[in-house]
Structure 1
Amino acid sequence: MKQLPNILTLSNLFCGALAIICILHAPEYRAEINGTDYTVITPEPIYWASVLVVLAGVFDFFDGMVARLLGVSGPMGKELDSLADVVTFGVVPGMMLYRLLKSAYYQSPDVFEVSIINLAPALLVPCFAAYRLAKFNIDTRQSESFIGVPTPAVALLVASFPLIVLFNPFNLAHWLQNIWVLYIIIAALCYLMIAEIPMISLKFKNKSLADNWPRFLLIALTLLSIPVLKFAAVPFIFVVYVLLSIIVPPKVTPKS
């Protein structure tokens, strides 16, 4: 039983590795549209990658909880968790943004002039995620709250993008097929992961409404927005999470 938290963490990593395979497996083919040749990406494998990120998020949520319940928390589990997270919540969203950028460029008339340099900014996401996770491991201020947006929140946000492109709620797919919007999203996510901004954690230390009302509000808005906004609820909740953390910043325990 004491290895159960590590098994959950490795399940997170397994999902992340499988998600990368799905993203890389998305085939490209030539198609003629209105007399013009286009390169088209078959998107279905990327949608499965989004599902795998959500499943990995579930494993990531429960591994720490199970470790605390079993009383087996330790440095080994903490390091293993970060190693898994850098793949699932760093490399995977970077790969997703890479494919989204590539798909956006394929719609431009000068598609054949696009180089790898145009797509490389997407790979900044795993770099900043790795930096954020390394910082988290040595930052004693982050025992009860976060400093900077946690990588699972970033990954879940990016994982919603392929599904938004597929189902197109509120015509948001148009924005996610714009290269400049994607560049802005990449820059914003990289900054938020390492910013010195106290962020709300969903760890409840007590049942006091006065102490936990931002958490209750965030959970309530999440439950209310999902049936109304569908997949667009994920970006909405992400923005609410960041704004709520800025407006009502959690207390940060000073470094010892």
Structure 2
Amino acid sequence: MKQLPNILTLSNLFCGALAVIFILHAPQYIAEFNGAEYTITNPEPVYWASAMVVLAALFDFFDGLVARGLKLQSPFGKELDSLADVISFGLVPAMMLFRLLRSAYMGMRDVFDVSYFNLAPALLVACFAAYRLAKFNLDTRQSDNFIGVPTPAVGLLVASFPLIVLYNPFNLAHWLQNIWVLYTIIAVLCYLMVAEMPMLSLKIKNMSIADNWPRFLLVILALAGIPVLGFATVPFVFVCYVLLSVITRPATGNAVK
């Protein structure tokens, strides 16, 4: 029982490692047919990677919940959690963005002139996630809320992109196949992870509407958005989360994860 939170944390890491494998095994190439070039992709592994990120987020949620419930919180568990998060919510979204950038470039006429240096900015997401986890593990101001967007939120946001490309709600796939849109997303996510701005924690300690109305509103928006927006609900809720955090400016206190 004493190791249960650590087992859940390692399950998070296991899902992240599986997601990496799925992303690496999604072949993409250009083929010529009747004199025309076509981009051919085997997308299924990337969609499985998205599912692994969701599972990792569930394990990440429950490891802290179980640790607090069983009073098994420890510095070791905190460090192990960060090591798992940097893979599941740092490296995995960086690799997803890398593949999306690669796909966007493959639709361009000068695709064979594109260098890996053009795709390398996607890896900054992993670097900034690691920086955030290291910095804010030592931060003494976070208790009820965060400073900067937490890495699981970034991981879930990016994990929705392959599914948006597949189902194309509101023609959003077009925007996720534009290199400049992707570069902008990368820059914004890197900034938000390390920004000195208070962000809401979704932990609900009581059922008071006055204390929790932003959290309840996010849940309502998510439930209302699913039947209308589909997988586009994830970026919609992410934007609402950032805006609500800016508007309410939640208070910070003593250090937690």
Q: TM-score category by the smaller chain? A: over 0.9
1:2 to partner: Cα distance? 1.2
Do the aligned partners of 2:164 and 2:173 also contact (CA within 8 Å) in 1?
yes
Segments of 4+ moved more than 4 angstroms = none
Q: TM-score, length-normalised on structure 2? A: 0.96
Residue in 1 aligned with 2:110?
110
Residue in 2 aligned with 1:134?
134
1:72 aligns with 2:39: no
Are the structure 2 counterparts of residues 34 and 153 from structure 1 closer, same or farther at C-alpha, using a change threshold of 3 Å? farther
Q: Quick one: distance in 2 between partners of 1:57 and 1:193?
A: 17
| Match runs of 1:48-67 below 5 Å | 48-67=48-67
1:126 to partner: Cα distance? 0.2
1:39 to partner: Cα distance? 4.7
Residue in 2 aligned with 1:251?
251
| Match runs of 1:66-105 below 5 Å | 66-105=66-105
Residue in 2 aligned with 1:203?
203
Q: Which AA in structure 2 matches 1:69? A: G
Count of residue correspondences: 255
Q: Quick one: distance in 2 between partners of 1:48 and 1:202?
A: 26
Residue in 2 aligned with 1:11?
11
Q: Which AA in structure 2 matches 1:231? A: F
1:60 to partner: Cα distance? 0.4
| Match runs of 1:184-203 below 5 Å | 184-203=184-203
Do the aligned partners of 2:12 and 2:84 also contact (CA within 8 Å) in 1?
yes
* 1:6-30 deviation digits (Å, cap 9, x = unpaired): 0000000000000000000111234
Query: Secondary structure of 2:141's partner?
Result: helix
Q: Which runs of 5+ in 2 are unaligned?
A: none
Name the Cα RMSD after superposition: 1.2
Q: Quick one: distance in 2 between partners of 1:11 and 1:53?
A: 11
Q: TM-score, length-normalised on structure 1? A: 0.97
1:224 to partner: Cα distance? 1.1
Query: Secondary structure of 1:141's partner?
Result: coil
| Match runs of 1:140-179 below 5 Å | 140-179=140-179
Do the aligned partners of 1:89 and 1:129 also contact (CA within 8 Å) in 2?
yes
Do the aligned partners of 1:169 and 1:230 also contact (CA within 8 Å) in 2?
yes
Residue in 1 aligned with 2:22?
22
Sequence identity (%): 74
Q: Quick one: distance in 1 between partners of 2:37 and 2:228?
A: 38
Q: Which AA in structure 1 matches 2:19? A: A
Query: Secondary structure of 1:143's partner?
Result: coil
Of 180-189 and 131-140, deviating more is 131-140
Q: Quick one: distance in 1 between partners of 2:114 and 2:38?
A: 14
1:37 to partner: Cα distance? 3.2
Q: Which runs of 5+ in 1 are unaligned?
A: none
Q: Quick one: distance in 1 between partners of 2:33 and 2:163?
A: 24
Q: Quick one: distance in 2 between partners of 1:56 and 1:140?
A: 26
